[in-house]
Each structure stands twice: as structure tokens, then as C-alpha cells.
Amino acid sequence: MDQRTGEGLVAGDDGRRYRFTPEDWAQRGEPAIGLQVDFEAEGDRALSVFPMPSARGVATAAAPPASREPVTDRNKIVAAVLAFFLGTLGIHRFYLGRTGSGIVMLVMTITVVGLLVTAPWAFIDMIRYLVMPDREFAARYARR
């Protein structure tokens, strides 16, 4: 996978190469170079790319060398500011893709007791985002 564009290449049995995006990768995690994959071809695109369960290390996937740097489209400063100003509503959780806990915070804010729980929760989240290293933040809140 190219870290700048997010695109990768796979070689088909027909000898052609097909482009795919992270949305086309049908398994959790990132594809690895040399992994045998199966996919549906549409023009020059590979759709529904997934690794073959019994094959390991068979060189059929061709992609530029991928660095293991996690990629995120979220910013930890923005998350911290949202946690500080709108934290009790859980807006920062929605921003980071944590919809379930965002809904819990939003519902809890309706009651006084819930507000007493969500206020420190949001403050702790804000501090965590600010002190968390960029690499860890990107890995924890990676693009999905």
C-alpha cells in the first residue's frame, strides 16, 4: 500500500495488475507484500480483496514497500479541544470513530448523575489525547 494515496496493487492470474484502495481490502489490518489474495476484477480495479486462508508468503500480491507507520485522518489537538468544550456530550468520541461510547456519554449527560460521570471522563480523555504520542494516537484511532 502506498502511504500517500492509500492505493495498492495486486497481480492477477492473467498477468495484469489491478489497483485497490483500503475500502477494497476485505479483512481487518493491512495487506502484506507477498500474500496470496483473491479479488473481483472490474476494469483495472480489484474489488473485495481478501487473503487466501491457506497461502502464506506466496508472491502474488505486488505493492510498493509499505512502511508500518499507522495512518489516521484525525487530529489529536482537535479531539482534545472537542473533549474540553463538548466532552460531556461525547462529541470527541464521535469524531474519533468511537460511536458506541459517544452515544453512552450523550445519553448519560441527560441526568445530573450522568453529567457528574461524563465531565471527568471527558477531562481525562482530553489529557490522554494531549500526552499520547502521535504514533500511538494514529495507531489507536486509525482510519477505518
pLDDT (tens digit, 9 = 90+) per residue, 1-41? Answer: 566 666 888 888 787 888 888 877 777 667 777 778 887 88
pLDDT for 70-122, tens place per residue?
A: 778 899 999 999 999 999 999 999 999 999 999 999 999 999 999 999 999 99
Q: Is the pTM of this model over 0.85?
A: no
Q: How far apart are CA 54 and CA 59, in angstroms?
A: 14
54 contact partners, CB below 8 Å, separation of at least 6:
none
pLDDT class for 60, splitting at 50, 70, 90? very low
Is the separation of the CB atoms in 52 and 36 below 8 Å?
yes
